[in-house]
A and B are shown apart, each in its own frame.
Chain A
Amino acid sequence: AQSVTQPDIHITVSEGASLELRCNYSYGATPYLFWYVQSPGQGLQLLLKYFSGDTLVQGIKGFEAEFKRSQSSFNLRKPSVHWSDAAEYFCAVGALIQGAQKLVFGQGTRLTINP
């Protein structure tokens, strides 16, 4: 079965510091991987996605993620965080069922930014 693990429930970083959020997945086939961000009271916004090709993908808001098949990981990074990055971040794998895609999400990582 497909699964996604985000080992860090809560991370606190200082504004201007670098950030890395971890994500490990389990999926039998070539994965479709996504990172979403959720601000309080809001829905989910897609940051970036990986399907194939270059294992380093660029997203919006200065985020990037690297796909490492050997480690079954898809970690999200940002070189310098801003106070507005405080939110909850979800990693997801797109599982194909009966030809259609179902998103399987990790438990999320809540990011707090210290001024």
Chain B
Amino acid sequence: KAGVTQTPRYLIKTRGQQVTLSCSPISGHRSVSWYQQTPGQGLQFLFEYFSETQRNKGNFPGRFSGRQFSNSRSEMNVSTLELGDSALYLCASSGNGLAGNEQFFGPGTRLTVL
């Protein structure tokens, strides 16, 4: 079974631009979560989607948004990029995202904002 894939793996943008990151979950998984990883803040939860609906959202500004498609693939978008958005963005999938379900992580997308 193929793992979680994320594209692109690396991205360089400038302040003010927007960016879209993609995540393909493990086949059959319907829950996709996104996390931001930075040296200062560590791993922080962004949001979680299940069956094309956002169920949970972390404490991030509205510039961070996401969506999920009918095939469970998910995208996250960051508009009006700031220097502080430079981070590793990790996507995780699980069967249904319920309590105790293991989340399988992708390799991440490294975003650098100049």
Contact = CB atoms under 8 A, between A and B. Distances in A.
Interface of A: 32, 34, 36, 41-46, 49, 51, 90, 92, 94, 96-108
A96 B43 contact: no
Given A42-B107, A43-B107, A98-B55, A32 B45 contact: no
Main secondary structure of the interface of B (DSSP, over half): strand
A102 to B, nearest CB: 5
Given A100-B50, A102-B48, 16 more contacts: A32-B100, A41-B107, A42-B107, A43-B4, A46-B102, A49-B100, A94-B100, A99-B55, A100-B31, A102-B33, A102-B56, A103-B35, A103-B45, A104-B45, A108-B42, A108-B43
A94 B48 CA distance: 13
A70 B9 CA distance: 42
Interface in B42-62: 42-45, 48, 50, 55-56, 58
A103 B33 contact: yes
A34 B98 CA distance: 14
Contacts of A105: 35, 42-44
Main secondary structure of the interface of A (DSSP, over half): strand
Given A43-B90, A90-B43, A107-B42, A101 B98 contact: yes
Contact of B102 (A49, A97, A107): A49
A98 B94 CA distance: 16
Closest CB pairs A-B (n = 4): A43-B105, A105-B43, A44-B105, A100-B55
Contacts of A90: 43
B108 interface: yes
B105 to A, nearest CB: 4
A104 B99 CA distance: 13
Contacts of B42: 105-108
Contact of A102 (B45, B90, B100): B45
Interface in B88-110: 90, 92, 94, 97-108
A100 B4 CA distance: 20
Interface centre among A44, A105, A108 (most CB of B within 10 A): A44
Nearest to B58: A102
Contacts of B102: 34, 46, 49
